[in-house]
Structure 1
């Protein structure tokens, strides 16, 4: 009966996957067996490591088999982020070069609002006329320094479409950055859960107690 009970306990431990978490103490004379497992890792440290670098907390817990997926996601997301940003800047530069050829602008030393305004007006004179009607005199341009005149309405619209596309990719880059932050927190939470599972150590004691009939086997668990 004792053998059946012991076999049942061992099988349940193996199925639960917690057999490596047992602490066994051994002492032949007193009949108590004990031995500490490897040192427990701090859940707070694991959380902090993965919050900084996804996968690092899992590596600290010696579970990089899990952490490698968070690290791979981190690298991929950063590549997407920089790729989208770079492509958006390339589109914007291409649009400015297009405006140099088709609208005759000088892009040197111009503020951002200048490149936005030439999207909506055929020329600097149309722009100044509108600002004059609105009595917004502070925003008037000096035609010599801020000159532009689109060669056609189609060219102006094409420039505008290029700028819209450039801004869209900048937005996509910001959106991918949200996933980067989410990946940090997901990795940190996962590392925290793994660390807490590892810290839930189960003490296990067994031994033999002499009796008038021989030796009695006993098994004790401490949660």
Structure 2
């Protein structure tokens, strides 16, 4: 015990001297070895902003995020889809004009004020009288067309009615295809937005890779480690 007490005193004095010297060597303000990652980089693209840009205009978010190759892909897809849309709409309008003109020539239809349901009925019945009789048998009085009010029609032949049906159906198909293309346009916007957000996130990772900074604390002389993982 007598030999141990001087050793404890000597160790205490050594720790006090070492701690004082270490504390004096620390600057008033902490100086990190590598802590630049603690400040958010202003140049790094925002995934949310890139997503929003491409959701509005496909390819715009890729331009913002610096993904040039995918920009061309989504812009080309958008242009092709809208070209298809206007093509199908144009064909549908042409076919619609054709079947209405055909009905005037071969069934004596008055096109003024007629809705789509009227033109659909034309392809199923040879005349307005045949149509009205069918509705009366079905007790569907509300569907009966009034006489002498411009709803009359009578096909000159069964072949003409079938030809009319083919024209009207082809018009509907064109309009339906245009509608499908609008769905593809929406998907293209969404796909571009997701890709742009991923590209922006990848850009942020490359902008701010993994760092480990060693920062001495101002009090106590301890060493602190700061690690940020992206």
Normalised TM-score (structure 2): 0.71
State the superposition RMSD in angstroms.
Answer: 2.3
User: What's 2:85 paired with?
Assistant: 81
1:60 corresponds to: 64
For residue 128 of structure 2, the aligned residue among 124, 130, 133 is 124
Number of equivalent positions: 178
Equivalent of 1:99, from 70, 78, 103?
103
Task: Quote the Cα distance in structure 2 between the aligned partners of 1:176 and 1:146.
Answer: 35
Other structure's SS at 1:46 match? helix
SS in 2 for 1:202: coil
**Distance in 2 separating the partners of 1:75 and 1:202:** 37
Distance 1:82 1:126 in 2: 38
Aligned match for 1:183, one of 185, 188, 193: 188
1:111 maps to what in 2? 115
User: 1:202 aligns to what?
Assistant: 209
Secondary structure, in 3 states, of the residue corresponding to 1:150?
coil
Separation of aligned partners in 2, 1:108 and 1:155: 21
Q: 1:42 aligns with which of 41, 46, 53?
A: 46
Higher relative contact order (CA 8 A, sep 6+): 2
The 10-residue stretch of structure 1 (126-135 or 92-101) with the greater mean CA deviation from structure 2: 126-135
- Residues 167-202 of structure 1 show CA distances to partners (whole Å, capped at 9, x for unaligned) of 111111111122111111111111111111111122
Are 1:46 and 1:60, in contact at CA under 8 Å, matched by a contact in 2?
Answer: yes
What whole-Å deviation, never above 9, does each CA across 1:67-121 have from its counterpart, x for those lacking one? 1210111011011012112211210110000000000001011122111111100
Q: Which has the higher strand share?
A: 1
- 2:155 is paired with a residue whose SS is coil
Which runs of at least 4 in structure 1 moved beyond 4 Å after TM superposition? 32-38
TM-score normalised by the chain length of structure 1: 0.73
Distance 2:85 2:170 in 1: 16
In 2: Cα distance, 1:53 partner to 1:93 partner: 34
Where does the alignment leave 5 or more consecutive residues of structure 1 unmatched? 1-29, 206-220
Please identify, of 46-55 and 142-151, the stretch whose mean Cα deviation from structure 2 is larger: 142-151
Q: Distance in 1 between matches of 2:138 and 2:65?
A: 66
For the pair shown, which has the larger CA radius of gyration, 1 or 2? 2
- In structure 2, runs of 5+ residues without a counterpart are 1-30, 213-226
